[in-house]
Structure 1
Amino acid sequence: MRIVAGTLKGRRINPPKKLPVRPTTDRAKEALFNILVHQYDFERCDVLDLFSGTGSISYEFGSRGVASIIAVDQHQGCIRFISQTATALSLPITPVKMPVLLFLERNSNSFDFIFADPPYPFELATYKIMINSIFEKKALSDDGIMIVEHAEQIDLSDIAHFRYARGYGGCVFSFFTC
């Protein structure tokens, strides 16, 4: 796994093999950030990375100079790895060990970018609960964008605030805005 662009471009990240994760591929990350970089200025942006796993997406945002990142995952090993890596790379990442839906229930902050990569398989009903919670709690800023990574068998296009989807290999990024 590597950071594909920004100040840390090319930096390899080697998470422990025992983590229960499925990291976003480098190819998919590169494609995602190629979409975002042409639409958004990353400086002064706040990011929420849900189901953060290895922290791969958090490192990409951090490498591009965002102001702050909150990385939420319920697995202690993932949180420990993100914390160690963020410190080693001097990135503004705050790891939070908590189930995502509980975090969303308690959160009162608003974010410019929200990235969610739930584990496969994840029930469509649970996607809807998560996405609706984000919009009900106003966790996404008015000009922000939420990206949900999911398997190509899942269709999120009928959920409120859906804008478009892009597929890369076996994964799909669905984009939501206010």
Structure 2
Amino acid sequence: MRIITGLYKGRRFDIPRSFKARPTTDFAKENIFNVLAGHIDLEGKQALDLFSGTGSITLELLSRGCDRVVSVEIDRDHHAFIKQCLAKIGAVNCLPLRADALRFVKSCRQKFDFIFADPPYALGELAAIPGMVFASGILSEGGVFVLEHGAKNDFSSDAHFIERREYGSVNFSIFKG
């Protein structure tokens, strides 16, 4: 796993082979962040990484200048790995939480300028995630929400939807608050 650009550009982290989650590919991650540059400047922003998995997006957000990142991952081993990565780069502006991402969305009272969610593609509630995010009020006005998902999902009819990007088998839907 590699950080693409910013303060920690080029830093690599070896993911244990036993992990179920895999990071968003470098190709897909680099491309989606290039697209996002036209929608939001991450410098100084508050960000939320839901279903953090290996922490790849969390680390990228920190490297790109977010003031604070909340990283939510339910798996004990993945959460511990994220904490190890944060310690290696000396990041103190990240709150790694071991929690259920959907429950977090429903109970959170903080607002975020940017939210990224990479749920398991087979998650039964995946199609409901944009509605949950917007109903909860956790996305700041004008904020950007990105949902990574499989090819079969289509969010183009959502009122907040702005575009979809596909990079191989990785699909991103982008929403604006």
TM-score when normalising by structure 2: 0.94
1:135 Cα offset (Å):
0.8
- Tell whether the 8 Å contact from 2:143 to 2:176 is kept in structure 1 after alignment: yes
SS at structure 1 position matched to 2:77: helix
1:130 Cα offset (Å):
2.1
The 1-side partners of 2:83 and 2:127 are apart by 29
Q: Give the alignment of 1:20-169 within 5 angstroms.
A: 20-91=20-91, 92-123=93-124, 126-169=125-168
SS at structure 2 position matched to 1:146: strand
- After the TM superposition, which of the residue ranges 53-62 and 152-161 deviates more from structure 2? 152-161
The 2-side partners of 1:148 and 1:129 are apart by 11
**Structure 2, unaligned stretches of length 5 or more?**
none
The 2-side partners of 1:77 and 1:160 are apart by 37
Q: Which amino acid aligns with 1:137?
A: S
Q: What per-residue deviation string (whole Å, max 9, x for no partner) do you get for residues 28-59 of structure 1?
A: 00001111224322222011000000000011
**Structure 1, unaligned stretches of length 5 or more?**
none
Q: Which amino acid aligns with 1:141?
A: S
The 1-side partners of 2:140 and 2:169 are apart by 29
Partner residue of 1:176?
Answer: 175
Q: CA RMSD in A?
A: 1.3
The 1-side partners of 2:156 and 2:76 are apart by 33
Q: How many residues in Structure 1 have an aligned counterpart in Structure 2?
A: 176
- After the TM superposition, which of the residue ranges 88-97 and 140-149 deviates more from structure 2? 88-97
Q: What per-residue deviation string (whole Å, max 9, x for no partner) do you get for residues 54-75 of structure 1?
A: 0000111111111000110110
The 2-side partners of 1:39 and 1:156 are apart by 18
1:168 Cα offset (Å):
0.4
Instruction: Give aligned-pair identity as a percent.
Output: 40
